[in-house]
Amino acid sequence: MSHRKEARVFYQAEKKQFHLSNDKISYIFKVSSDGKLLHLYYGKSLPNRDYSYLIEMHHRPMTTYRQENDLLYSLEHLKQEFPEYGSTDFRHPSISMKQENGSKITNFTYLKHKIVDGKPKLENMPATYVEEDSESKTLIITLKDNLTNVEVELLYTIFTEFPVITRSVRVLNKGTETQIIEQLASLSLDLPDADYDWIQLSGAWARERNIKERSLQQGIQSIESTRGISSHQHNPFIALKRKQANEHQGEVIGASFVYSGNFLIQAEVDTWDVTRLQVGINPFGFEWRLLPNEVFSSPEAVLVYSDQGLNGMSQTFHQLFRTRLVRGEWREKNRPVLINNWEATYFDFNEDKLVSIAEKARDVGVELFVLDDGWFGERNNDHAGLGDWFVNEKRLPKGIGSLAEKIRSIGLKFGLWFEPEMVNKDSQLYKEHPDWLIHTPNRKEHHGRNQFVLNFGVEEVVDYIFEQMCKIIDESKLDYIKWDMNRPLTDVFDHRLDFNQQGEVFHRYVLGVYRLYELLIAKYPHVLFESCSSGGGRFDPGMLYYAPQTWTSDDSDAIERLKIQYGTSMLYPVSSMGAHVSIVPNHQTNRITPIETRGNVAFFGAFGYELDLNKLSENELAIVKEQIKFYKKYRSEIHNGLFYRLRSPFTNDNETSWMVVSKDQKIAIVAHYKILNEVNRSYQRLELKGLNKEMTYRIDGQLYSGAELMHAGMVISDASSGQINEQNPRPETHDFDSRIWILTQEER
């Protein structure tokens, strides 16, 4: 009898035990005798039975206890679902709520629960979703603090097809007093030991999402953002992997945050080696005034379990994000090959120059022309014009509509760059509305890149920008928008809010960004959005809900991109990574790399060009034509297949390898990159992954079984292995070399 996949939520009333499971995972907890939620298990799928024995209560010295004359029950030693500080637990809590008398002590206990099919929508915020109720089950547990009459709803969704549980929290003030939420974790997970390595994605502008790894130790390990954006410095994601786990085997837990503002992810290891993993809005700079009858919802945290190593975890995130976080028309459509004029012209352009670039782009197969910064207001440099979303008539005297019409007549789609959240003081918008800046009264304002941040927490500001953008979108009939955001927030204050609401400004800002996206998407569902924040400063799951692709980094150097794209793939699908072939010498590193290698790296993303094709040689243009032809042929497999990381640039300083396998395993695309050439190099084999061991694959005219390619490996030795002569001819090899192999199933 076949086993039907389904998500299940079991409740054993006599044991007060909840068990969320599918065919891959189980998540189990129960209600204690005094109403606290005690965590029992998270990992591989288990049968539904009583797991109360996993709660261990032992007397320990110098501990405080829940009940008089009881020397066993202390929350200090128990694993919990929604921990609170100060009532026998001394670790970091899920919630900190200040009451009118100044107390922060709460006691949330079980009130009720319900189990629903599907997944409730998270109001005004991005989140994963389902299209059919059969795709998931959601458990909603209501806890209540009897003194304040505040209720908390914990939402757990388990998916049918994925080893995924999502978590979020709603706080409902049903009391008569105002409450101040000072901290609210969307996810708190207590694990029974600390035998994990912690992995994070960190860096800075132009070197984003580098993989950093270290062992958990007693104390607190954390990453965070205080910049108002998810940041270049730390991505809102971590993985905990078992010591023996690697890319392809072993247990891994991944946690990400579907949010685009300040976040905190931390693992607190206590002196008994219990690990408390928490994900949520950063409590630094955060407070939320909750009036009677008001509700506050936390963003969503996504929890992934893998017993197939880091790559297994990543593939789950890729599939979930690509199909159940990204939405709309462009979720399934092939992304167009684009050309962006920025590194070709910067601010030095006119209509004729742009049309000339577009004509050459059409000739080589480009599908979308994108006009970057400089087309609006008095934008002659980066000191002026932001906020004035009307055409710069000195540069484009015939208007944006005229340019768009000419681009379309050539046969290309047309896109524009916007930076809607920003303003220059040298602009009409600032002169008319100086109070729309985020700034602190009577204090000096601080700029970033000569620009200031509009207060998107104010509806009037968002509505104004929306109206200005609509005029341009309508005039030019836009197909694509690159939405940039080139600085973090400083001087964070809103004079419209009370003194005890200033901790809300960061979060209100993020909600305003989401609101503008929502307004634009609702009115222009056909537009393809690409998010950007000086490259990768706001590359997060929250943005993917609105913009299915993100400019991965301002660093477009092919060699630097190996680390950036490899690290980014730890969480994000290939289809979400904007990746372009840019000019050489590269404008970030001054490095000269072959155009073939620039293409071979950029293929594994949302592909495009960032240069003036008119300045390329005939030979280079021929290569570009072939690159575009190749990408169009295989972009569906690249974007929708399973991505495997094979050799890491973080552990091998001279090589990187990865591959993509189509869903039916009939096509695989393998890429290998070498930084510097070597002399008399050792022979090289690359063990492939994800193939069908029963299939026969053709590579460069030769036939191989899937089994041998995965276990014996594919020979990738190049001309640096041995001396080249007439008997041993091999293709020339050089610094910054790369190769791509196409594997196709041989029909029997």
Per-residue pLDDT reduced to its tens digit, 662-683: 999 999 999 999 999 998 889 9
Q: What is the pLDDT of residue 649?
A: 97
**417, two tokens:** 């760059």
Q: What is the pLDDT of residue 485?
A: 97
Confidence of residue 1 (pLDDT cuts 50, 70, 90): very low
Cβ burial of 735 (10 Å; 0-12, 13-18, 19+) is middle
Render pLDDT for 602-635 as a digit per residue (tens, 0 to 9): 999 999 999 999 999 999 999 999 999 999 999 9
Q: Which residues pair with 739 in a beta bridge?
A: 672
Range from 151-160, 282-291, 509-518, 715-724 carrying the lowest mean pLDDT: 715-724
Catalytic residue among 372, 388, 426, 484: 484
Q: What is the pLDDT of residue 58?
A: 87
| Closest CA relative to residue 439, chosen from 387, 496, 366 | 496
Confidence of residue 727 (pLDDT cuts 50, 70, 90): confident
**712, two tokens:** 């014996």
Render pLDDT for 229-272 as a digit per residue (tens, 0 to 9): 999 999 999 999 999 999 999 999 999 999 999 999 999 999 99
Q: What is the pLDDT of residue 482?
A: 98
**Is the CB of residue 234 less than 8 Å from the CB of residue 246?**
no
Catalytic residue among 145, 373, 554, 612: 554
Q: Where are the beta strands (DSSP E) in 521-641?
A: 528-531, 549-551, 577-582, 606-610
Q: What is the pLDDT of residue 731?
A: 75
Distance CA 392, CA 398 (A): 10
Residue 205 DSSP label: T
Distance CA 692, CA 707 (A): 7
554 is catalytic: yes
Q: What is the pLDDT of residue 169?
A: 98
Q: What is the pLDDT of residue 725?
A: 72
CA distances from 422 to 26, 58, 387, 452, 722 (A): 45, 57, 6, 6, 57
Q: What is the pLDDT of residue 267?
A: 98
* Other beta carbons less than 10 A from residue 555's beta carbon: 23
CA distances from 84 to 81, 178, 303 (A): 10, 19, 21
Q: What is the pLDDT of residue 747?
A: 75
Q: What is the pLDDT of residue 3?
A: 55
**Is the CB of residue 451 less than 8 Å from the CB of residue 426?**
no
Q: What is the pLDDT of residue 619?
A: 97
* Other beta carbons less than 10 A from residue 77's beta carbon: 18
CA 661 to chain centre: 22
737 φ, ψ (degrees, to nearest 5): -90, 160
Distance CA 49, CA 687 (A): 41
Share of residues in the chain with pLDDT > 70 (%)? 99
The kind and range of the H/E element at 507 are helix 505-523
User: What burial letters (b/e) apply to 33-59, b meaning 16+ CB within 10 Å?
Assistant: eeebbbbbbbbeeeeeeebeeeeeeee
718 is catalytic: no
SS3 618: helix
Q: What is the mean pLDDT of residues 578-595?
A: 96
Mean pLDDT of the chain: 96
Is pLDDT of 2 > 70?
Answer: no
**Is the CB of residue 38 less than 8 Å from the CB of residue 30?**
yes
**Is the CB of residue 337 less than 8 Å from the CB of residue 608?**
yes
